[in-house]
Amino acid sequence: MILTVTLNAALDVTYQAPGIDWNGVNRVSAVHRRAGGKGVNVARVLAALGQEVLVTGLAGGPTGRAIEADLRAAGLPTALCPIAADSRTTLAICETTTPVTPDVATPEATPGVAGGGRTALFNEPGPEVTPDEVQNFLTTYETLLTSAHVVVISGSHPRGIPADFYATLAAVAAGKGVPAIVDADGDPLRHAPKGRPRVLKPNADELARAVPGGGTPAEGARALRGRGAQAVVVSMGAEGLLAVTEEGTFTARMPYAVQGNPTGAGDALVAGLALGLLESSPWPDTLRRAAALGAAAVAAPVAGDFDRDVYAAIHPHIVIT
């Protein structure tokens, strides 16, 4: 079982509209409302790939109840810990374009999908969590790890969570022999290597903030490894992936850019990394699958989904060096 941790769970609302007037009134062509947060998105992708998952984290108030109801409706098993404050809502506004189906035989073509224009994200900060609620979650987490083979710890902290809490969660997992992936930004990312996670997964901007003056992405990734992370995988958008690991440094290059909604692409990528850990796959295979899942998620209209046709089209053409 793969356990995903989402401390700042959200109700994700996505508006799709053609040719958005960013200074005027727009008619929304489609609305999607679903439970979200980075760990929830990872769990959705893994479940779609046929993996056993369990979603844990924090949820409270009317929004928290809506999140739990949506997860139940999606058939995703949960062990969310209650909090008194209301969980957050996020909003994504996506400008749609005309869909174009990717051609497997011509990988140089650039596929477009509905949602292929600009995307604006509005993320609420999240609820205030009390020390007792933090301790209750930690106790639950330790229990859930006894049945987990991999744990994914991802997303932002709600208010009241210690800055080094992801390092604590990673260290607890390591003590129980469960490899942890941490996908975070800011202070949680800077502290995370102390917990010796199996994988840290920043994007290029997050890496630059975590290692200011760190030079190239490879140098920054090596700096995080030097602080305790066993491997660092940096997502670089259309440029692919950089992985600095105990087995060496790898790059995964994309054959073409996929147009669409980038929200959730990093979460799909993390799902691929988690599956690689679960199956003890070689790094080249893990990175190729992770990069393809990230690209396929861009082609899906909402976070937590991926386009299987895009995945099949792009996976064989990703170049690993």
Catalytic residue ranges: 267
Euclidean distance between CA atoms 114 and 96, whole angstroms: 5
Number of Cβ atoms within 10 Å of the Cβ of 253: 15
Contact status, residue 30 vs residue 108, Cβ threshold 8 Å = no
Report yes or no: 132 and 279 within 8 Å, Cβ to Cβ.
Answer: no
Cβ contacts of 226 within 8 Å, gap of 6 or more: none
Whether the Cβ atoms of residue 16 and residue 55 lie closer than 8 Å to each other: no
Q: Could you tell me which of 166, 86, 161, 165 has the C-alpha nearest to residue 129?
A: 161
The residue among 38, 11, 7 whose CA lies nearest residue 304 is 38
